[in-house]
Amino acid sequence: MIQILQFVGALSLMVILHELGHFLSAKAFGVRVEKFYLFFNPGFTLFKFKPKNSETEYGIGWLPFGGYVKLSGMIDESLDTKQLASEAQPWEFRAKPAWQRLIIMASGVFMNFLTAVVVYAMLLFTYGNEYVALSDAPYGMEFSEVAQKHGFVNGDVLLKADTMQLEALDQEAMRAIFNATEVTVLRNADTVLIPIDESLKLDLVAAQTGFASFRNPFVIKGVMDMSPAQLAGLQAGDSVVAMNGITVPTHQDANPILKAHKLTPLSIDYVREGNLFSTTVTPDSAGFLGVYLKPYYEMFPVTKITYGFLESFPKGLQEGVEMFTGYADDIKIVFTPEGAGSIGGFGSLAGLFPNAFSAQYFWTIVAYLSVVLAFMNLLPIPGLDGGHILFLIVECIRRKPLSQNFMIKAQVVGMILLFALLFYANGMDLVRFLAD
């Protein structure tokens, strides 16, 4: 429920800000705004009101696919052409110069991108940028099965993607790795070059798995009541160093041993307050001990970069641009069989939010989704802002507007495509849910 509430709140905020961009620019150019709606309202409206002496009706629809502002004299997704039968009035969208209409159409996208930049800036100002440097992770990385098939080996320390020095395991590093021709790693004190091709990203998308995570020691942070670990006398703070005489430098090394000893007594060596002890534990039927492990960022040095209020905005802009260009680069994957199978709808988006509310994480997702919304609305599909922008650019080139009949047909085709995409994306969510 907390996930759903966060998603609805984030979606509502982004839609309102997007439509506010259209609203403010339309007002600035003297265009009458007839409706300002959060969500669509085919058939009926959940809530609506019209302030006294206002030309605009405000409301909330029941179909949570976005929102809209209805501009006088504009052919939009409503396909309301009654006004177009009469002479154009000065307050109508169609009566304004093409450059003004272009700004009005682009303002929603601009507002979403601006939202992302401001949110990124405020996150940097409030929390700074914290990360564990790859050079401060002595045990290297634990790579997914897909990454291993492409030449990476557990324990490799990531150094460079082509000539770019890799500092942290973040989005910037991942994009650099995926776009590189080779990645340099440190393996057992030797420098190794791993060739990279586009199939790495496609294979990760198809497998719906991550690339790598930090390898870290088996240090217990907490013990569950009546668990195998508690029954064996293990406590928070204990560091497991060996199992059945086999050294386990990291908890990743311990996992295969635990899986192989389900419901089977297992000798464990552990360190407590600098002293070495031994005990016997019987993992449960899933191969678990019933412990919480200390995360890597509590054991390795954490690098923190702080930003003043003013200096946070250039960095926020950089974050927004990098996220936008990165998403634009990733979108081509959608047109591959691997990418088509990974498309998700509202369920996938809601799943981005944690089960417990975290202000930092919430606003990070809001910034990311704002960039996604900005990019998606720029796609040249009728019914989206990008479709209107494309038609206005064509109008500027040919120096006369496209025909009303063409615009209506284009809107119909665009809406069919958009609803087909929505049904497909949410259908894939349902398929994955039933498969689980």
Q: Look-up: residue for tokens 């150019």?
A: 29
Q: What are the residue ranges of helices labelled H in 128-219?
A: 145-149, 171-179, 199-207
Task: Give the number of other CB atoms < 10 A from CB of residue 97.
Answer: 10
342-345 long-range CB contacts below 8 Å, 24 or more apart? 342/205, 342/206, 342/208, 343/424, 343/425, 343/428, 344/425, 344/428, 344/429, 344/432, 345/422, 345/425, 345/426, 345/427, 345/428, 345/429
- pLDDT for 217 equals 94
101 in Cβ contact with 133 (< 8 Å) = no
Q: Look-up: residue for tokens 């998308």?
A: 205
Domain spanning 218-294: which superfamily? PDZ domain (2.30.42.10)
Q: Look-up: residue for tokens 């050294």?
A: 247
Both tokens assigned to 30: 């003297």
Please report the sign of the dihedral spanned by the C-alpha atoms of residue 338, residue 341, residue 346, residue 352. Answer: negative
**Of 54, 63, 62, 67, which is closest to residue 21 (Cα–Cα)?**
67
Architecture of domain 134-213: Roll (2.30)
Both tokens assigned to 129: 């940028």
Q: What are the residue ranges of helices labelled H in 214-308?
A: 228-231, 251-259
Dist. CA 320–CA 37, nearest whole Å: 27
Q: One fold for both 134-213 and 218-294?
A: yes
Dist. CA 198–CA 269, nearest whole Å: 44
Dist. CA 203–CA 150, nearest whole Å: 10
- pLDDT for 85 equals 67
Indicate the DSSP class of residue 245. T
- pLDDT for 79 equals 59
- pLDDT for 78 equals 62
- pLDDT for 84 equals 66
Q: What is the pLDDT along the chain (436 residues), one digit of tens a residue?
A: 788 889 889 989 999 999 999 999 999 999 999 999 998 888 888 989 999 888 999 999 888 778 889 998 887 766 566 666 677 788 898 889 999 999 999 999 999 999 999 999 999 999 999 999 999 988 999 999 999 999 999 999 999 999 999 999 988 899 899 989 999 999 998 999 999 988 888 888 877 788 999 999 999 999 999 999 999 999 999 999 999 999 999 999 999 999 999 999 999 999 999 999 999 999 999 999 999 999 999 999 999 999 999 999 999 999 999 889 888 877 777 777 766 677 777 788 888 888 888 899 899 999 999 999 999 899 888 888 999 899 899 988 888 888 878 888 888 888 888 888 888 888 877 887 777 6
Q: Look-up: residue for tokens 């939009």?
A: 76
**Of 268, 353, 366, which is closest to residue 320 (Cα–Cα)?**
366
Task: Give the number of other CB atoms < 10 A from CB of residue 354.
Answer: 13
- pLDDT for 206 equals 78
- Triad 111, 112, 116: Cα angle to 5°: 115
Going from N- to C-terminal start, the domains of the chain cover 2-123+367-435, 134-213, 218-294
| CA atoms within 13 A of residue 306's CA, in its CB half-sphere | 2
